[in-house]
Structure formats: C-alpha cells, structure tokens
C-alpha cells in the first residue's frame, strides 16, 4: 500500500481534526509539521493555519485535498513522495530522509531552505552497473538545468540564491527517472 493510501485509510478511521492530520502525516510520512516551516510567514502557528484550511472546506476534505494544502502551506508534496515509492530514487529533504531504500540508484539531496540541491549515484548503483558515473543522458539533462558535475560525473550540484521552485525539483526528479538504468526493478 502506497503512503498516500495509508494516509487516507488512517484519516478515514478517525474524526478529522488538526491533531489527526499532524499525527497521520508524522506516522505515515515521518514529517513533524510542527517543525516544518510554513511557506509564507504568518503570526499563526502551523496548527492554526491547518485548522483554518480544514474549516474552509465545504465538506470533509479528502486525503488528496489535505495533501494538496499541505504542499501549498509547507512545500511538502506528499502526493509526489508517495508516487515515488519504489522508483529507485532516495530523497533527502527538510532535514530528513523522505524516501530511502538500499536498492536505490540515485539520491536527490536538498538542504534545508532548498537553495542547494545535489544529485548523486549510490553504492548500489556503482556495484550493479560497474561504474559510479551517471548515464550520459542524465549528465547532459542535469547540466542543461544548471547542475555542475564532479570530475567522476557521479555527483551533481546546484545552488540558488533563493529556494528552488517545486517545478525545478520536479524537473530534477523527472530527469533522474527518465534516465534511470534498467538495474532497478
């Protein structure tokens, strides 16, 4: 069962409240929304902002609607994270591992603040393919996006003065997934 489905199941088993949303997101995805900064500064706490979003809904919001406003408020795309499970890609974001499996071929690592992003191959990739260098097509795709490669083409680095937008993160993930070698099933 994908994490999004698990979240829907758990939310459906209890009365919907701010506490339930925070507890389920933490249990299923490992994010403590009390510690994840809101995208837009406000004088209200995370819980107050989420409570306001829940109240604005005409009816009981679906899990998908809750994931959408969590992405809007915290820049944490739970829907996309759930979809990436088993794709061969580890993700480190918001100060923690979001997705990590021993058989992942690549890591996308973003530092807190999302101003620095790294993409690199894993030990599993190197062991399975016999090289630590990323596929040429991936090297070209990342470099065309502004990433700088290390001398072995196994690690790529991007830095911005501001947080990179979700579209850039999505483009990076897309480039990696499109160029994923056949070693991952």
Residue-wise pLDDT tens digits, 7-19: 999 999 998 999 9
CATH class of the domain comprising 87-178: alpha beta
- Write out pLDDT tens, residues 44-86: 999 999 999 998 876 889 999 999 999 999 988 899 899 898 8
Mean pLDDT of 16-34: 94
Q: What is the mean pLDDT of the chain?
A: 91
Instruction: Give percent of the chain with pLDDT exceeding 70.
Output: 98
* Tokens matching residue 118: 């790294």
pLDDT over threshold 70, residue 184:
no
How far apart, in whole angstroms, are the C-alpha atoms of residue 141 and residue 145? Answer: 7
Rounded to a whole number of angstroms, the distance between the first and last alpha carbons of the chain is: 17
Confidence class for position 93, pLDDT limits 50, 70, 90: confident
**Mean pLDDT of all residues in 164-172:** 88
Residue 3 vs residues 7, 17, 41, 95, 98: alpha-carbon distances, Å: 6, 19, 29, 20, 11
Q: What is the pTM of this model?
A: 0.77
Boundaries of CATH 3.10.310 in the chain?
87-178
Q: How far apart are CA 59 and CA 93, in angstroms?
A: 32
Q: Which two tokens stand for residue 28?
A: 């299923």
Q: Which residues pair with 92 in a beta bridge?
A: 97, 109
Q: What is the 3-state secondary structure (H, E, C) of the chain?
A: CCHHHHHHHHHHCCCCCHHHHHHHHHHHHCCCCCCCCCCCCCCCCHHHHHHHHHHHCCCCCCHHHHHHHHHHHHCCCHHHHHHCCCCCEEEEECCEEEECCCCCCEEEEECCCCCEEEEEECHHHHHHHCCCCCCHHHHHHHHHCCCEECCCCCEEEEECCCCCCHHHHHHHHHHHHHCCCCCCC
* pLDDT exceeds cutoff 70 at 31: yes
Model confidence band, residue 141 (pLDDT cutoffs 50, 70, 90): very high
């Amino acid at each position: 069962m994908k994490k999004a489905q698990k979240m829907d199941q758990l939310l459906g088993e209890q009365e919907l409240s701010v506490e339930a949303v925070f507890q389920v997101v933490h249990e299923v995805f490992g994010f403590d929304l009390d510690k994840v900064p809101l995208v837009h500064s406000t004088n209200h706490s995370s819980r107050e902002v989420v409570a306001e979003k829940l109240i604005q809904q005409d009816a009981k919001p679906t899990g998908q609607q809750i994931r959408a406003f969590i992405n809007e408020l915290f820049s944490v795309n739970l829907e996309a994270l759930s979809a990436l499970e088993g794709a061969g890609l580890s993700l480190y974001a918001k100060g923690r591992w979001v997705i990590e499996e021993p058989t992942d071929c690549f890591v996308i690592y973003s530092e807190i603040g999302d101003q620095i992003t790294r993409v690199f191959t894993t030990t599993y990739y190197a062991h399975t393919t016999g090289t630590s260098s990323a596929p040429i097509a991936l090297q070209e795709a990342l470099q065309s996006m502004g990433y700088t490669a290390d001398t072995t083409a196994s690690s790529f680095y991007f830095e911005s003065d501001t947080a990179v937008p979700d579209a850039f993160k999505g483009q990076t993930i897309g480039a990696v997934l499109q160029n994923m070698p056949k070693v991952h099933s």
